[in-house]
Amino acid sequence: MTRMTRPHVVREAGLPAAVTIYEVGPRDGLQNEKTTIATRDKVRFVERLIAAGLGTIEVTSFVRPDWVPQLADAADVLAELDLDGPVRMPVLVPNERGLDRAVEAGVRWIAIFGSATGGLARANLNRTVETQFDMFRPVVSRARELGLDVRAYVSMCFGDPWQGPVETTQVVDVGKRLFDLGATQLSIGDTIGVATPAHVTELIGAFGDAGLGPDVLAMHFHDTYGQALSNAYAALRAGVTTFDTSAGGLGGCPFTPGATGNLATEDLVWMLEGLGIRTGVDLDRLVETSTWMAGLLDRPSESRVVRALTAPVT
């Protein structure tokens, strides 16, 4: 018996010719892992992702070490990477102190992380929905004055473990306000993985009605309920061409019992290859990288594609 290592390609009318993958494995993927990954292995992880063709890799975050111990070595990781090379290496910064550290490290792209709901704003930022803007405004202003590119995440866009369903108007209002601080891209997060395709399409349309078209949006799906790939397909059909993914499906949400990780980069790449859409990613090298990281974490990869392509052939 042989193994299919690539999907059959069938182009679908109306879909883009290429998609940008915003790899979040080294930051969002690793930040909640209980197994501590050595600094050198984090650097190797990024280097291997670059070798696999990923052009944008969010490598770490300048948060307080006692909040996210896994990323306490952010400056050391960045010191080992070529931040002036062709690959974009953004860093998440929560506040002005984080921005100072990012600038000192030579970072050229930053991201801020806001919330559409009060529960996560309190749990993650110790702020309300309203006061989070006061925290981000000087960060974005200074970053733009320094010539840095700024991405804005908005989390809990489809559901919230404290309040349940989240109104579309609430998400659009918060997202637009974050974007209007001076960001160049807005990443829409399904933090607890409850979105479904029609909900995705509705929200993208609502952002378009508010003046934020799919060209400035990215989608960030979690696979808690097994919907991430179908949601990505819905977003693709709605015109979105940037997707946040994590190699091997690394990641998870600490606020959702049983939550699995981000949409696996390999799973999205397989679907896009089948649609004839370019990503620039070498799937074989990416699978090797995710398998290597799974070994460091001492658990199987969450990616269905990784599991399928590495299963023994009998």
Instruction: Give me the helix-helix angle, 96-105 and 132-145, nearest 10°.
Output: 30
Contact 149, 108 (CB under 8 A): yes
Selected catalytic residue, list 253, 264, 272, 305: 253
Identify the residue whose tokens are 């400035």.
216
Alpha helices by DSSP H, 74-116: 74-79, 96-105
Contact 187, 152 (CB under 8 A): yes
Establish whether 157 is a catalytic residue. no
Cβ count near 19 (within 10 Å): 21
CA distance linking residue 10 with residue 273, whole number of Å: 9
Sheet with 109-115: list strands edge to edge.
56-57, 20-23, 242-245, 217-221, 185-190, 149-155, 109-115, 91-92, 60-61
Residue 222 β-bridge partners: 262
Q: How large is the C-alpha radius of gyration of the chain?
A: 18
Greatest Cα-to-Cα distance within the chain, rounded to the nearest angstrom: 60
Q: Report, as residue numbers or ranges, the catalytic residues.
A: 253
